[in-house]
């Protein structure tokens, strides 16, 4: 089995490290070969291609993993019209100006498409989803805060829509709700926080409905600290109010918490409470626990037709979410752009291994 990683930045390196862990723990992956395509040769120990078409024809990958900067996802996907294997793509699928029908047409020959919404692989996510289904809970209200600090980002970006996608997907996934979001109001701000320009969306606040449930939230790339939290209020069949809170990557990466409870006359009754177990991989393997599970699932599916443990987002999921992100960007009422760097030249004070900025 041949795997081609497209892009060797932060995300690409996460996949390389996850594959390394999988090879150490599974004999079934001994026949997996890995190469990468990038503008520059960044790893002398892995086969490198400077041309994507050359990589496709010479390396003949079974699986392509698209990890280039989010602003260039569509450029890569549109070059895969003759590819007949499997594709994993980082989020978001595209830019609001990209032609989604063209992407869909150029991917018509692939055998499978998997959209990396990595927090679906959190134990907190899976536990809450199972609890909701088992207890027939109906969502009444959800609120999220999903933010971090990407000021002075040296990577091109489509903006904060690539961050808000996580929470929007998770709310819809854990419930699960067949309906799509109905947007009511979007307020945002733009700035020169990244190299992509002086008016890139850096923050968004939304109000929406999902069936009859109200969803509100805030997402930002100029938040002082990393915050990833979703709060839920449900009704059970007896119309009791049930609360749930999921917190991700706090205080450290891959440390997620979940609490599900209700208030009673005797105080809080806790149904579920967990802190995900942190795996202690060798040095340099931080922040890839969920990547290991996700990639292992996909490789087992491709390699041995083994059903994944998690409902993997497909191309239609990616397209639906992109339509929603495009609508959010189009409806956003924004202030005039904020100038973080009006006179001073940018100084990039972090590297491709900086988890706080890049993860």
Query: What pLDDT, on the 0 to 100 scale, is given for residue 352?
Result: 53
The CATH code belonging to domain 119-281+314-358 is: 3.30.360.10
What pLDDT, in 10s, does the model give residues 146-179? 999 998 778 889 999 999 999 999 999 999 888 8
Which tokens go with 102? 């063209």
Confidence label for 347 from pLDDT (cuts 50, 70 and 90): low
Write out pLDDT tens, residues 30-56: 788 999 999 988 877 899 999 999 999
Band (pLDDT 50/70/90 cuts) for residue 283 is very low
Q: Where do the structural domains in the chain lie, given as residue ranges? A: 2-118, 119-281+314-358
For residue range 88-144, list pLDDT tens digits in order.
999 999 999 999 999 999 999 999 999 999 999 999 999 999 999 999 999 999 999
Fold match between domain 2-118 and domain 119-281+314-358? no
pLDDT digits (tens, 9 = 90+) for 249-259: 998 888 999 99
Q: 2-118 is classed in which CATH architecture?
A: 3-Layer(aba) Sandwich (3.40)
Taking 70 as the threshold, does the pLDDT of residue 359 lie above it?
no
Instruction: Give yes or no for a contact between 169 and 313, defined as CB atoms under 8 angstroms apart.
Output: yes
pLDDT score of 222 more than 80: yes
C-alpha distance from residue 100 to each of 163, 315, 320, 323 (Å): 20, 11, 10, 9
Work out the pLDDT band at 285, boundaries 50, 70, 90: low
pLDDT of residue 349: 58
Q: pLDDT-based confidence at 327, cuts 50/70/90?
A: very high
Please state the pTM of the whole predicted model: 0.93
Q: Is there a contact between 144 and 214 (Cβ–Cβ < 8 Å)?
A: no
Report the candidate in 255, 317, 279 with the shortest Cα–Cα distance to residue 116. 317
Residue 355 pLDDT exceeds 60 = no
- Residue 189 sits at φ, ψ, to 5 deg, of -140, 150
Q: Which residue has better confidence, 340 or 209?
A: 209
């Amino acid at each position: 089995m041949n795997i081609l990683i497209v892009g060797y930045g932060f995300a690409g390196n996460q996949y390389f490290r996850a594959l390394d862990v999988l090879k150490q723990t599974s004999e079934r992956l001994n026949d997996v070969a890995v190469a990468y395509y990038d503008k520059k040769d960044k790893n002398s120990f892995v086969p490198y291609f400077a041309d994507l078409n050359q990589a496709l024809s010479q390396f003949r990958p079974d699986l392509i993993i698209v990890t280039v900067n989010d602003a260039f996802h569509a450029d890569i996907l549109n070059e895969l019209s003759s590819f007949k294997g499997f594709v994993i793509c980082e989020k978001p699928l595209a830019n609001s100006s990209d032609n989604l029908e063209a992407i869909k047409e150029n991917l018509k020959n692939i055998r499978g498409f998997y959209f990396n919404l990595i927090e679906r692989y959190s134990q907190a996510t899976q536990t809450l989803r199972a609890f909701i289904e088992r207890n027939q809970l109906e969502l009444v209200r959800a609120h999220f805060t999903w933010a971090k600090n990407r000021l002075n980002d040296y990577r091109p970006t489509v903006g904060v829509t690539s961050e808000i996608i996580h929470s929007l997907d998770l709310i819809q996934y854990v419930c699960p709700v067949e309906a799509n979001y109905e947007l009511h109001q979007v307020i945002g701000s733009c700035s020169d926080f990244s190299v992509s320009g002086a008016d890139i969306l850096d923050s968004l606040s939304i109000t929406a409905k999902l069936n009859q449930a109200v969803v509100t939230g805030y997402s930002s790339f100029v938040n002082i600290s990393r915050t990833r939290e979703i709060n839920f209020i449900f009704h059970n069949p007896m119309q009791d109010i049930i609360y749930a809170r999921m917190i991700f990557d706090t205080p450290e990466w891959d440390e997620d918490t979940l609490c599900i409870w209700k208030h009673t006359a005797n105080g809080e009754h806790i149904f579920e409470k967990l802190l995900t177990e942190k795996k202690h991989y060798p040095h340099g393997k931080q922040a890839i626990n969920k990547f290991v599970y996700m990639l292992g699932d996909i490789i087992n599916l491709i390699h041995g037709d083994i059903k994944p443990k998690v409902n993997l987002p497909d191309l239609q999921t990616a397209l639906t979410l992109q339509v929603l992100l495009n609508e959010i960007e189009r409806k956003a009422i924004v202030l005039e752009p904020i100038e973080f760097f009006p006179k001073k030249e940018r100084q990039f004070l972090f590297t491709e291994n900086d988890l706080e900025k890049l993860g």
